[in-house]
């Protein structure tokens, strides 16, 4: 007993001192503008040249460490503020051109995998919740629930928080519980398998036993229905007939909601795995969070332009394997920019700067929409025709000339598998040439406008690598003017 008390004391003291250390070392600087300091990182980013996400690689481990050690964010406004700061940094103070949700989405779904701090915080909360749900680590449970009046599952599932307000008067419990209530219905819409009615009904005291019978252990199938096992079968789990009757009452109430038969996502992603719980939970939450973005606006616009629907599978293939033709990030970035219709057009510029002229920079006749500029403009058409003819000569066979293949890299069956990588390189190079040419015509065509939008149109990093490319030229030309 004394030994237990000593151990517990050591744990608490250890925890308190580490909490103090974290507040001093990590939390305070974060509160006081460490994120403002990250705005200095563009220098790092231009030097390392590895893409927009690089600075996040410095911040993320620190933040994850913090989230996992201290679950105390009461109000979630700070995440919005941090997100704003990150966005400001990513776009270098300019107007964002890709939605934050798409930026954070996973690469397999066409996103940019920018870490979403709020979701990471919430996933870390689930790592804490894991102990409360599993009821295995009694030391942690005693420490975190030292003044609980009911079992953990009573708070988590049977709404005892309303009766016993003390539960939420605890800084960590409150923060973790808030995350739980946010996702509870999404994660478990029926009575979960891991729920232990016995633990929920038991009065809380210290040094409670660990092995509480869960629903999946005490239910049995009766035709199409689920029923509680007989008292004989549960002999070693219940104390007496009264106890059994109490459990039966709870069971009757839970039955109204129905029982989760198969393992839920919460079980497979959080409760069962021993490792990588944080990233598993993050991926799960991310999937839900970005679900409504599945039909992304850029995809709709492409379908309208091309005149027929592109199958969702084709998009998926493009994100998962289509980009793997090269290891070069700059080339990948070019493909992504095309998919998300990043490049400025006369129509967009006219809208932004209230200009009367929105004609194509090349033919100066038609309206300069994105698709016109890249595909239907007669001048561009001739250019693509040349590329197409050359490719046919190289491949020694013919294939159909589709915009989705040339612009988006959805190669399709027309091109033999072994030629696809070459096709991707050739079209990406062609697009880059076309972009440069466009930029040059634009800067000669509308000098003032080019000045106003300098850097918006150009593909930042590429230009730094290649001083001869469009943006530099545009500048020099402007200087001459």
Q: How far is the CB of 437 from Zn ion (least distance, A)?
A: 12
Q: Give the separation between CA 20 and CA 105, rounded to whole angstroms.
A: 35
Of 118 and 362, the one with the shorter C-beta distance to Zn ion is: 362
Q: Give the separation between CA 327 and CA 349, rounded to whole angstroms.
A: 33
Q: How far is the CB of 381 from Zn ion (least distance, A)?
A: 9
Of 149 and 363, the one with the shorter C-beta distance to Zn ion is: 363
Q: How far is the CB of 358 from Zn ion (least distance, A)?
A: 12
Q: Give the separation between CA 248 and CA 237, rounded to whole angstroms.
A: 13
Of 76 and 444, the one with the shorter C-beta distance to Zn ion is: 444
434, 374 contact by CB (below 8 A): yes
Of 212 and 374, the one with the shorter C-beta distance to Zn ion is: 374
Q: How far is the CB of 374 from Zn ion (least distance, A)?
A: 10
Q: How far is the CB of 365 from Zn ion (least distance, A)?
A: 6
Of 11 and 445, the one with the shorter C-beta distance to Zn ion is: 445
Binding site for Zn ion (CB under 5 A): 360, 362-363, 366, 377
CA dihedral 22, 26, 28, 32 (to 10 degrees): -170
Q: How far is the CB of 376 from Zn ion (least distance, A)?
A: 8
Of 68 and 376, the one with the shorter C-beta distance to Zn ion is: 376
Q: How far is the CB of 379 from Zn ion (least distance, A)?
A: 6
Of 28 and 365, the one with the shorter C-beta distance to Zn ion is: 365
Q: How far is the CB of 372 from Zn ion (least distance, A)?
A: 6
Of 213 and 403, the one with the shorter C-beta distance to Zn ion is: 403
- Secondary structure of the chain as H, E, C letters: CHHHHHHHHHHHHHHHHHHHHHHHHHHHHHHCCHHHHHCCCHHHHHHHCCCCCHHHHHHHHHHHHHHHHCCCCCCCHHHHHHHHHHHHHHCCCCCCCCCHHHHHCCHHHCCCCCCCHHHHHHHHHHHHHHHHHHCCCHHHHHHHCCCCCECHHHHHCCCCCCCCHHHHHCHHHHHHHHHHHHHHHHHCCCECCCCCHHHHHCECCCCCCCCCCCHHHHEEEECCEEEECCCCCCCCCCCCHHHHHHHHHHHHHHHHHCECCCCCHHHHHHHCCCCCHHHHHHHHHHHHHCHHHCCCHHHHHHHHHHCCCCCHHHHHHHHHCHHHHCCCHHHHHHHHHHHCCCCCCHHHHHHHHCCCCCECCCCCCCECCHHHHHHHCHHHHHHHHHHHHHHHHHHCCCCCCCHHHHHHCCCCCCCCHHHHHHHHHHHHHHHHHHHHHHHHHHHHHCHHHHHHCCCCCCCHHHHHHCCCCHHHHHHHHHHHC
Of 155 and 374, the one with the shorter C-beta distance to Zn ion is: 374
Q: How far is the CB of 389 from Zn ion (least distance, A)?
A: 21
Q: How far is the CB of 297 from Zn ion (least distance, A)?
A: 24
**Closest listed residue to residue 213, CA positions, set 158, 151, 257:** 151
Q: Give the separation between CA 354 and CA 113, rounded to whole angstroms.
A: 34
Strand partners, 226: 221
Of 184 and 379, the one with the shorter C-beta distance to Zn ion is: 379
Q: How far is the CB of 349 from Zn ion (least distance, A)?
A: 15
Of 259 and 383, the one with the shorter C-beta distance to Zn ion is: 383
């Amino acid at each position: 007993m004394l030994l237990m008390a000593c151990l517990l004391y050591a744990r608490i003291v250890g925890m308190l001192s580490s909490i103090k250390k974290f507040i001093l070392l990590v939390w305070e600087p974060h509160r006081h503008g460490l994120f403002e300091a990250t705005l200095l990182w563009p220098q790092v980013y231009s030097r390392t040249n590895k893409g927009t996400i690089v600075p996040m690689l410095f911040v993320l481990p620190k933040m994850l460490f913090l989230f996992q050690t201290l679950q105390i964010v009461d109000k979630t406004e700070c995440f919005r503020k941090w997100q704003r700061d990150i966005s400001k940094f990513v776009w270098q103070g300019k107007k964002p051109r890709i939605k934050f949700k798409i930026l954070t989405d996973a690469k397999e779904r066409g996103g940019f995998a920018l870490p979403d701090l709020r979701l990471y915080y919430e996933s870390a909360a689930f790592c804490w919740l894991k102990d409360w749900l599993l009821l295995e680590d009694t030391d942690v449970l005693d420490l975190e629930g030292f003044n609980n009046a009911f079992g953990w599952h009573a708070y988590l599932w049977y709404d005892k928080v309303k009766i016993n307000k003390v539960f939420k008067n605890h800084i960590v419990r409150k923060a973790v519980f808030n995350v739980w209530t946010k996702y509870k219905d999404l994660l478990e819409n029926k009575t979960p398998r891991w729920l232990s009615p016995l633990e929920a009904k038991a009065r809380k005291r210290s040094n409670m036993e660990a092995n509480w019978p869960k629903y999946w252990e005490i239910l049995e199938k009766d035709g199409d229905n689920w029923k509680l096992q007989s008292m004989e079968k549960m002999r070693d789990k219940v104390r007496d007939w009264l106890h059994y009757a109490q459990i039966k009452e709870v069971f009757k109430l839970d039955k109204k909601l129905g029982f989760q038969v198969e393992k839920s996502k919460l079980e497979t992603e959080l409760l069962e795995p021993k490792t990588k719980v944080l990233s598993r939970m993050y991926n799960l939450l991310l999937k839900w969070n970005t679900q409504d973005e599945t039909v992304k606006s850029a995809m709709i616009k492409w379908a309208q332009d091309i005149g027929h629907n592109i199958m969702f599978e084709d998009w998926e293939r493009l994100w998962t394997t289509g980009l793997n033709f090269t290891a070069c990030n700059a080339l990948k970035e070019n493909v992504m920019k095309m998919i998300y219709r990043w490049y400025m057009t006369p129509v967009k510029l006219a809208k932004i700067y209230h200009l009367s002229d929105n004609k194509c920079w090349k033919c100066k006749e038609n309206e300069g929409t994105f698709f016109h500029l890249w595909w239907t403009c007669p001048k561009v058409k001739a250019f693509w025709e040349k590329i197409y003819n050359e490719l046919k000569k190289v491949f020694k066979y013919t294939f159909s000339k589709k915009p989705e293949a040339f612009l988006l890299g959805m190669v399709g069956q027309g091109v033999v598998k072994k030629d696809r990588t070459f096709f991707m390189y050739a079209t990406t190079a062609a697009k880059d040439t076309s972009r440069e040419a466009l930029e040059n015509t634009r800067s000669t065509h509308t000098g003032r406008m080019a000045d106003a939008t300098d850097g918006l149109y150009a593909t930042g990093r590429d230009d730094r690598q290649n001083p001869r490319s469009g943006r530099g030229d545009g500048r020099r030309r402007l200087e001459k003017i």
